Amino acid sequence: MSIEEAVLAAVPAHTAVERVELVGSRAEGRATRWSDWDFAVRTRDFDAVAGALPELLAPLQPLVQQWDRLGETWCWMLLLGGPVKVDVIFDEPHANEPPWEPGPNTLAGIDDHFWDWMLWLHGKEAAGREEVVAVELEKLWVHLLGPLGAPRAPWSVADAVASYHDARAGAERRFGRVVDRAVEQAVAPSLRSPD
């Protein structure tokens, strides 16, 4: 079963889902190998569907499932093996959340968010969307790298990864916690692929 087929089978299983459709570059035929899969969802009861998403999408065996902290609308983000990024986007407004506050209980969430963000940005780099990449790298520094202790905004995905490694190592020492490397091991090799 393809990713599209799997999502279109899983999400509508909830009785409050009215419609799910593939949107964005994959739907428009302009995707690169690293483009994410975007699905727009309309519901009769957002809260009910939101609470059921982890169970609904479990058959896809996600490495990471989390809400997008910085989306204009509520977006449930998944990282699948491959790696592949999938966004389930709702027509419900969402206010940006504040930058991460590093601590022993947030390092794992920060790590998940970082690698999701890197895979998404790698797709933008591969598509030649330099302006988007520059804006997002600045946002990455404000919301994630800066709070971890990185001294400046990165200038590329590769630079962001190097900066993150240093900042994460420092945070792990400060908080006495070591972040599991499984998500990094799934995503990092793909970031070295130019296309």
pLDDT tens digits, one per residue of 71-107: 999 999 999 999 999 999 999 999 999 999 999 999 9
**pLDDT of 192 over the 90 cut:** no
pLDDT of residue 127: 87
DSSP state of 143: I
**Beta strand extents in 30-187 (DSSP E only):** 37-43, 64-67, 73-80, 84-93
159 three-class SS:
helix
pLDDT of residue 184: 98
pLDDT of residue 194: 64
Q: Provide the pLDDT confidence category of residue 126 given band limits of 50, 70 and 90.
A: confident
pLDDT of residue 195: 62
Bond into 98 cis (ω within 30): no
Distance CA 74, CA 143 (A): 18
pTM: 0.94
pLDDT of residue 31: 86
Q: Which long-range contacts (CB under 8 A, 24 or more apart) does 50-58 make?
A: 50/74, 50/76, 50/90, 52/14, 53/11, 53/88, 56/10, 56/11, 56/13, 56/14, 57/7, 57/10, 57/11, 57/88
Share of the chain above pLDDT 70, in %: 99
* 59, 76, 163 from 152: Cα distances, Å: 40, 29, 9
Domain boundaries, the chain: 3-93, 107-191
Q: In CATH, which superfamily holds the domain spanning 3-93?
A: Beta Polymerase, domain 2 (3.30.460.10)
The DSSP secondary structure of 125-137, one letter per residue, reads HHTT-HHHHHHHH
Segment 16-55, tens digit of pLDDT: 999 999 999 999 998 888 899 999 999 999 999 999 999 9
Share of the chain above pLDDT 90, in %: 91
pLDDT of residue 33: 87
User: Which secondary-structure segment (H or E) carries 21?
Assistant: strand 17-23
Q: What are phi and psi of 148, to 5 degrees?
A: -75, -15
Cα–chain center distance at 115? 7
